Amino acid sequence: METTTDWIEEAEERRGELEDKIMEKEEAEKKLRKKIQEYEGKIRELSDALKRNNLCIIGIPEEEERGKGAEGVLEEIIAENFPELGKEKGIEIQEAQRTPFRRNLNRSSARHIMVKLAKYKDKEKILKAARDKRALTYKGRPIRLVTDLSFETWQARKNWHEIFRVLDRKNMQPRILYPASLSFRIEGEIKVFPNKQKLKEFVTTKPALQEILRGTQ
């Protein structure tokens, strides 16, 4: 009996030591995951910073810029959609090209045109004009003008699209803020939500909003 008791006590002690090691390992893995997320966030911010002055033009047919360059395409878009901006002086384009650099013949859609402007304020001025007009065209064809962001940031922003459309139909002035926060007007105030969890917590306090967003979260 004494031998059995000693064996049980030793086994319990070893089990306790093993559980401690498992907890230490889990804690170390948790810290590592957090550190990796922090590094990924910094890389995303750096990538977005490098694209700070960039505009992305979506919907322009391939080879449309032949003879006038991609810079000429943006100038024609401004003249067609924002004639008041076209009259201003000083909007300087540093470079513009199709992306990806090589055309993929298996793609049915046209490659986007990436435009780098000399000044960030000019990019914001163009985007604001695009938001105000909402429906943009190029020679009568519908197009889009968006800011150039990293793939990770676009994915995070994409998660808001369905909710954004619902709020927009209700004229609640939704906006996607950098990097991927949602803002909208409710009860005369602008509310900002960094993620869906924060929005979900807020919605539980607003029955009317809960009904509007039913099925979108």
Residue 86 has pLDDT above 90, yes or no: no
Q: CA 170 to CA 185: how far, in whole Å?
A: 10
The yes or no reply on domain 54-148 and CATH 3.30.70.1820 is: yes
Average pLDDT over residues 81-90: 80
For the 154-212 domain, the top CATH level (class) is alpha beta
Kindly report the pTM of this predicted structure: 0.63
Query: Is there a common fold for 54-148 and 154-212?
Result: no
**93-102 contact pairs (CB < 8 A, 24+):** 93/117, 93/118, 94/53, 94/118, 96/65, 96/69, 96/70, 96/71, 97/70, 98/62, 98/65, 98/70
Residue-wise pLDDT tens digits, 146-177:
888 888 888 888 899 999 999 999 999 999 88
pLDDT (0 to 100) of residue 107: 56
Q: What is the pLDDT of residue 5?
A: 76
Q: Where are the domains of the chain?
A: 1-49, 54-148, 154-212
With pLDDT > 90 as the criterion, what percentage of the chain qualifies? 40
Provide the CA 181 distance to its chain's centre, in angstroms.
9
Per-residue pLDDT reduced to its tens digit, 98-136: 877 555 555 567 889 999 999 999 999 999 999 888 899
Check residue 199 and give its pLDDT: 93
* Residue 108: per-residue pLDDT: 61
